[in-house]
Amino acid sequence: MRRTAILGLATVLAAGLGAGPALAAATTQHIAVPAYFSPSSSYWSQLTQGAPAVGVAIANPDNGPGTAFDQGYATAIRAAANAGVRVIGYVDTGYFGTTGRTTRTGQTTTAAWTAQSEGDVATWYSLYGGYGLGGIFFDDGLADCGHVGLYQAVNTYTKQNHPGAYTVDNPGTAAEQCYADAADTIVMFEGTYASYTGWSAPAWELSYGDPNKFYHLVYATPSQANEANAMALSKQRNAGYVYVTPDDLPNPWDTLPTGAYWSDELTRALSSGGGGGGGTGCASSAGSGAITAISACKDATSLRFQATYNTAASFHHVYLNTDNNAATGFQLPSPSPSRLGADYMIENNILYRSLSAGWSWTPVTGVSPNMTVSGATYSWTVPLSALANPAASQQAVFNGNTFYTNPLTYGQ
């Protein structure tokens, strides 16, 4: 998945393993974006605003970290990290020389490739560790157990020298199960939508308990309907990380989807549908204007909300229609696009219950939402037990000053 040679040779060298019964399935997911575009591009802002659905971005200045500090990348990495997106740096392992690929100094030995890979890890952290770099993406990987020790070694090197680093291996094809401890996440598929629809995940992926071990990359996915199908398939195949794009060769990773295609992909990643298994019911939207990157989730014990406020506001509100009845509760005023019928309101770190259709509220005793702030991004957690007769499906509207978002419908 290099910038100049996109398809990993491992796709040819190693075939996918036979599929078994689908014993596990991802419920909610995160989008992991190969961000192979300039840090000055609007795409970096777009992926940052896609949090929390966007969980990972792979930075790749020049098939690696390059040799000089780039303030543009530093700024992009910091902004993404502040929004909750983990940015990881691209490192080419060159199949550790097994195919005759040469290092930048013209060598083909395993030792030379190991030295270059570890050197690139060190350079990434030297240049951008102080800006929130979150880990390393090892590309051009192998998938057979005969070479797993090489990836275990660079993984160990990275984690020992940079505690907390998140690591991803990309063989571009289904790796054998021995790779489960070679990195935090393994790219098990990289290819076209046409190939993905006929692909079978290996049995160990389908039965593995943690979907975040697996990452699928699907390009040449032309329509939103195709995107929706690919997202559903990725959940059925137990992939906790996924990226679907209409972009195609020679570089499918130099743009982002836009418009309804992108919004739908974000929503489907956090939604519990399509993969079975119950769990958390989430919804998200890129938002716009003063409030972006909004999300709402409901599970068996709590509600969770997040939004990025792009203008200063004294009060950060989340209005909640928890009984799924727009006729009850506070009726949101214009310019809100929805009257909603808010049964509860979070105002900064206080939870209020509505007493009428007008502005009449009472604090919920004994409950203080867990509010955290990272830069301009606000997150809240509210215990479900604080709500009277909560419905399975609920709606939320975020508000700051006179700006109101469109409602998010979340739950199961």
Query: Residues of the chain whose pLDDT is less than 50?
Result: 4-23, 273-280
pTM for the whole structure: 0.65
Q: Write a three-state SS string for the chain.
A: CCCCCCCCCHHHHCCCCCCCCCCCCCCCCEEEEEECCCCCCHHHHHHHHCCCCEEEEEECCCCCCCCCCCHHHHHHHHHHHHCCCEEEEEEECHHHHCCCCCCCCCCCCHHHHHHHHHHHHHHHHHHHHHHCCCEEEEECCCCCHHHHHHHHHHHHHHHHHCCCCEEEECCCCCCCHHHHHCCCEEEEEEEEHHHHHCCCCCHHHHHCCCHHHEEEEEECCCCHHHHHHHHHHHHHCCCCEEEECCCCCCCCCCCCCCHHHHHHHHHHHHCCCCCCCCCCEEEEEEEECCEEEEEEEECCCEEEEEEEECCCCCCEEEEEECCCCCCCCEECCCCCCCCEEECEEEECCEEEEECCCCCCEEECCCCCCEEEEECCEEEEEEEHHHCCCCCCEEEEEEEECCEECCCEEEEC
Residue 17, pLDDT score: 31
Separation between Cα atoms, residue 387 and residue 211, nearest integer Å: 31
Residue 352, pLDDT score: 96
Residue 6, pLDDT score: 40
Residue 172, pLDDT score: 86
pLDDT in tens, 242-289: 999 999 999 999 999 999 999 999 998 987 644 333 334 677 777 788
Residue 15, pLDDT score: 32
Residue 277, pLDDT score: 30
- Fold equal for 10-278 and 283-411: no
- Superfamily of domain 10-278, CATH level 4: Glycosidases (3.20.20.80)
* Average pLDDT across the chain, whole number: 89
Residue 304, pLDDT score: 85
| CATH topology classification for 283-411 | Immunoglobulin-like (2.60.40)
Residue 367, pLDDT score: 84
CB 14 within 8 A of CB 273: no
Domain positions in the chain are 10-278, 283-411
